[in-house]
Amino acid sequence: GESVGLHLPTLSVQEGDNSIINCAYSNSASDYFIWYKQESGKGPQFIIDIRSNMDKRQGQRVTVLLNKTVKHLSLQIAATQPGDSAVYFCAEKAYQGAQKLVFGQGTRLTINP
Amino acid sequence: GAGVSQSPRYKVAKRGQDVALRCDPISGHVSLFWYQQALGQGPEFLTYFQNEAQLDKSGLPSDRFFAERPEGSVSTLKIQRTQQEDSAVYLCASSFNSGLHSTDTQYFGPGTRLTVL
């Protein structure tokens, strides 16, 4: 994805609702995808990952879905809590064995009480 | 703590000054990465080490940027003759494995916020 500079897409949800954060990628050869959470003043924190040979993976309160046909990745957070407020980034590795992460556009998740 | 640490957390430099940013990776981690994060954007790759070898420096924006990891542990990112466009958060990440697998998780430090006046 491309950065939109200072104007991050924003998602506001009610506490307790489910959140869905989307990410589009352009490289059909990308082998591996990761979601990171970044709180203000902190570095990105690993949430969940998925290989390109999978279409769904579940963690604790989080699910990642991968649709390779349309090159789309989503992160679902169940029962959103105030502590989930952060900027969420998807990242990819361009090919098997690639080391550097290529980050997509972030989404700011805000939780309303 | 057992995480990646970076110092200083904040650095203010006058344009033209040289700066050095330090990264202490998680003990035993073979791979180390530097990323640059401009305000409101995602991190962008700068360079990658496997032990002391710098295997990829394709993301370094100019020859004013230099990174080293002489003993395969601590790394330093040096920026010479800083310019205002160098203002950003510089993130360091490390991963355990030797880099043979794409799925090695990268763990990030808190970053150093550099402001060039």
Domain ranges within chain A, ordered by starting residue = 10-112
Please, what CATH class does the domain formed by B5-99+108-116 belong to?
A: mainly beta
Contact B91 A44 (CB under 8 A): yes
pLDDT band at A1 (very low <50, low <70, confident <90, very high): very low
Tell me the CATH number for domain A10-112: 2.60.40.10
Under DSSP, the state recorded for B74 is -
Distance (Å, rounded) from C-alpha B4 to C-alpha B73? Answer: 11
Nearest chain A Cα to B58, which residue?
A100
Q: A 55-94 residues with CB below 8 A of B?
A: 89, 91, 93
Contact residues for B114 (Cβ-Cβ < 8 A; gap 6+): B11, B12, B13, B19, B21, B79, B82, B86, B87, B88, B89, B90
Contact A43 B106 (CB under 8 A): no
A106/B contact by beta carbon, under 8 A: yes
Residue pLDDT, tens place only, B27-71: 999 999 999 999 989 999 999 999 999 999 999 999 999 999 999
pLDDT recorded at residue B100: 57
